[in-house]
Amino acid sequence: MISIIIPTLNEEASIARAIGSCREAGPCEVIVVDGGSRDRTAEIARGRADAVITAPRGRAAQMNAGAAVSRGEVLLFLHADTRLPGGSVPAVLGALQDASVIGGAFRVRLAASPGAGRYVRAALGITGRMIGARGAVSRSYSGDQAIFLRAEAFRAVGGYPEIPLMEDVELSRRMRRAGRTVLLPLRVGTSGRRWEAWGPLRTVLLMWRLRIGYLFGRTPSRCAEAYRRGPFMRREPPPPTSSAGG
């Protein structure tokens, strides 16, 4: 069995579609881990997921809590604003038929808002391809790419590090050290709200600055502070929740 774990915080507008995409992806267990939503997120999820639990707020802590109660031999971590394409479950299980592969991630398509202009749509398309190219070369994945791995490997590497930002980058690093990872050709669809709010180019530059800073010793707390400030000359406040995915 594959267990899909979805961390949530005030995601009533997107959680039903996220769970629906899991059902269309193939046979799976769906676990929603809520971090204290003040809207109807948990209520909506209870009618659709196999389990809804609560955990201290924080994406890494929530995903670790979901992994602790999961029954699957494979874990897949899905953001609430991301959709799995049909056939995702067989694709993941097929990749793991190779015993040397411990996990991996998907390519990504950034979805523009209905009112987005031609420039924004084109920029999001290019950014999505850049994220895929980065993952293919560096094997460093973001949470937007729906990271998956064997449950035994997840436990062996210590799960997600419970840090305020860069938990996906650190998990990717641990995965590379533990075994081989793959980037699947299927593309998950994820919200482009972060890139639209800050501007695609500014957001990409910010994400790369954070990643490079972290790799050269910048602490996760300082990275989180920089993320909350956003890129220079931002035009709008940051989106509700996110991680360094660009």
Specify the pLDDT at position 187. 96
59 and 66 Cβ atoms separated by less than 8 Å: no
Whole-number pLDDT of residue 232: 52
pTM given for the model? 0.85
Q: Is the pLDDT of residue 10 over 60?
A: yes
What is the per-residue pLDDT for 41? Answer: 97
Residues 6+ apart with CB under 8 A from 148: 2, 74, 75, 76, 77, 92, 103, 104, 105
pLDDT surpassing 90 at residue 165: no
Helix (H) or strand (E) holding 120: helix 118-138
| Mean pLDDT confidence for 18-42 | 97
How many percent of the chain have pLDDT more than 90? 61
Residue 209 has pLDDT above 80, yes or no: no
| pLDDT band (50, 70, 90) for residue 6 | very high
Between 226 and 142, name the one with better pLDDT.
142
Tell me, what's the pLDDT at 233? 45
Residue 240 has pLDDT above 60, yes or no: no
Average pLDDT over residues 82-99: 97
Q: DSSP letter at 146?
A: -
> Could you tell me which residue, 191 or 157, shows the higher pLDDT?
157
Alpha carbons 15 and 137: distance in angstroms, whole number? 31
How high is the mean pLDDT of the chain?
Answer: 87
Residue 28, pLDDT above cutoff 60: yes
pLDDT digits (tens, 9 = 90+) for 50-85: 999 999 999 999 999 999 999 999 999 999 999 999
Residue 246 pLDDT grade (very low, low, confident, very high; cuts 50, 70, 90): very low
**Do the beta carbons of residue 170 and residue 157 sit within 8 Å?**
no
Q: Is the pLDDT of residue 236 over 80?
A: no
- Count Cβ atoms below 10 Å from residue 154 Cβ, excluding itself: 26
Provide the percentage of residues in the chain whose pLDDT is more than 70: 87
Q: Quick one: pLDDT at residue 211?
A: 67
pLDDT in tens, 167-194: 998 999 999 999 999 999 999 999 877 7
Express the helix, strand and coil content of the chain in percent, nearest 5 each. 45, 20, 35
Which residues in 101-117 are b (16+ Cβ under 10 Å) and which e?
Answer: bbbbbbbbbbbbeeebe
pLDDT at 44: 97
